[in-house]
Amino acid sequence: MGSGFGSVGGHGCAGPLDFATFSGDSFREGGLGDGIDQSCEHAFPRAWIIPRFERYSFEPINTEESISDDGRLYKGKIFQCKKDLKRTLHMYALKEQFEVQIRRSSKTRYEAGSPKLQVHSHSVKPKDIMVEMQVEHGLHLLYTKAWRANDHAEASVFGPPKESFKLLPAYYHRLKEVNPKTITTIKTNVANQFEYMFIAHAASLHGFQTVIRPVIAIDGTHLKGKFSGIMFVAICLDANNQVFPLAYGFGDVEHKMSWSWFLNKLKNANGSLEDFMIISDRHLGIKAAMEKVYPNVPHGYCVFHMAQNIKNDYKRKDVSLLFKQEWKVYRKSDFKEVMLEMMKVNRVAFEELMNVVPERWSRAYSPVRRYRLMTSSIAESMNSCLVHARQMPITTMVEFIREML
């Protein structure tokens, strides 16, 4: 179960597209209001009785204890994620003094073997349940019933997805008690339904404001749980070129309004910064939001996405190679020389690149230092790390990200 690794479990449920409604108790007078967007015109309490408080632990977890409950491997054991399975397997191999050979590893399957041990693990889907019931018990199971069983198993592990939305304000309250200066915000609509949320951990904000290079990559990715939505991320690179998550949030859809809300919260969290840049793909919602929220901050484009567009639009290797030279050169004179060559080879491509404005994608004309960060791939790396987490209920997913950070 968990995020789907083990012999029985599942992830990825289809479901309604609307977001869950908070309970009346969550926002009635006498409840918690810190960190809640007041645009929904609700009063919130100061003192909270946090439901299912025992679910959330903010104390450091001992490595050996976090591997599994008993530290043993046996047939049918359930792991919350692939990472837990791998750690348990390798600790077991170290203890028993044998070498593990990985036979197959993907997002949904993990197979390893040795003279002493055979391990097969994969994310369970409704079809897997149907096959197992047929093989093990000789029962023909309808897909809809297998899907409901899978859905019930996930709910028993993570709790009902709708209930998770109701726990989010209490979770934020507890999070800020043990992580002072962490910034959290929840926005609901006039019907008291979840609309947006934002979170920036105190350590991330302090690191960015003191030692991290002032270039932020932003991106959005789809959630895959019962309630659909978009996850927004803002990522940087540290001095060792390691991914440094700055902030993230959730919304219903990806458009100008949602990106404007997220960027506005990011701006308020970081305060006034000088000589920094935000990099993204050429999504129209991001472009419009940047013009509204950060009108004076340089907005760079991801050259990887631009290169893919050029490759698909023109289908010419020489044009793609010239574009690569254009964004890589440091001197303006070299840039002009390559652009003249582009004009001779394909004038339409030349005019398109000039219309995009070189300041957004070329290193030579960048108004501020990009520190060799020419793509938004670091934001997409964050998204790929959350492939399984994006299927979890929202509060469980936020806790998963906190532990990952």
Q: Quick one: average pLDDT of 7-17?
A: 35
Instruction: Please say if the pLDDT value at position 70 is more than 80.
Output: no
CA 53/CA 178 separation, integer angstroms: 14
Domain-embedded: residue 149: yes
Q: What's the average model confidence in pLDDT over 18-26?
A: 42
Per the model's pLDDT, the better-predicted residue between 393 and 108 turns out to be: 393
Average pLDDT over residues 5-28: 38
Q: Examine the domain organization and report whether 67 and 140 are in the same domain.
A: yes
Mean pLDDT over all residues of the chain?
78
Same-domain status, 125 and 273: no
Examine residue 14 and state whether it is found in any structural domain, yes or no: yes
| Domain annotation covers residue 225 | yes
Task: For residues 405 and 248, give the distance between their C-alpha atoms in angstroms, rounded to a whole number.
Answer: 12
| Together in a domain, 259 and 301 | yes
Over residues 211-221, mean pLDDT: 91
pLDDT single digits (tens) 246-289: 999 999 889 999 999 999 999 999 876 778 899 999 999 999 99
Q: Residue 176 region, left (φ>0) first, then alpha (ψ -120 to 50), else beta?
A: alpha
Q: Is residue 40 part of a domain?
A: no
Q: CB–CB of 215/241 below 8 Å?
A: no
Q: What is the DSSP string of 330-397?
A: -SHHHHHHHHHHHHHH-HHHHHHHHHH-HHHH-STT-SS--TT--SSHHHHHHHHHTTTGGGS-HHHH
Alpha-carbon distance 370 to 42, whole Å?
Answer: 42
Q: Total structural domains in the chain?
A: 2
Query: Residue 317 falls within a domain, yes or no?
Result: yes
Region 65-71: what's the mean pLDDT? 47
Q: pTM above the 0.75 mark?
A: no
Task: Give yes or no: residues 185 and 123 share one domain.
Answer: no
Residue at 313 is within a domain: yes
Q: Which of 111, 126, 159 is the last residue of a domain?
A: 159
Q: What is the pLDDT of residue 387?
A: 81
Last residue within a domain, chosen from 100, 128, 159: 159
**29-48, pLDDT tens digit by residue?**
333 434 444 444 333 333 33
276 versus 161: the higher-pLDDT residue is 276
On whether residue 350 sits in a domain, the answer given is yes
Contacts of 247 (CB under 8 A, 6+ apart): 198, 199, 200, 204, 205, 233, 234, 265, 266, 269
In a domain, 26, yes or no: no
Do 149 and 250 lie in one domain? The reply is no
Same domain for 224 and 135: no
Strand-by-strand arrangement of the 78-79 sheet: 78-79, 5-6, 118-123, 109-113, 101-105
| The predicted structure's pLDDT at residue 126 | 83
Instruction: Look up the domain containing 276 and give its range.
Output: 162-404
In this predicted model, what pLDDT tens digit does every residue of 299-355 receive, in sequence order?
A: 999 999 999 999 999 999 999 999 999 999 999 999 999 999 999 999 999 999 999
Could you tell me if 193 and 309 lie in one domain?
A: yes
Residues 6+ apart with CB under 8 A from 134: 140, 141
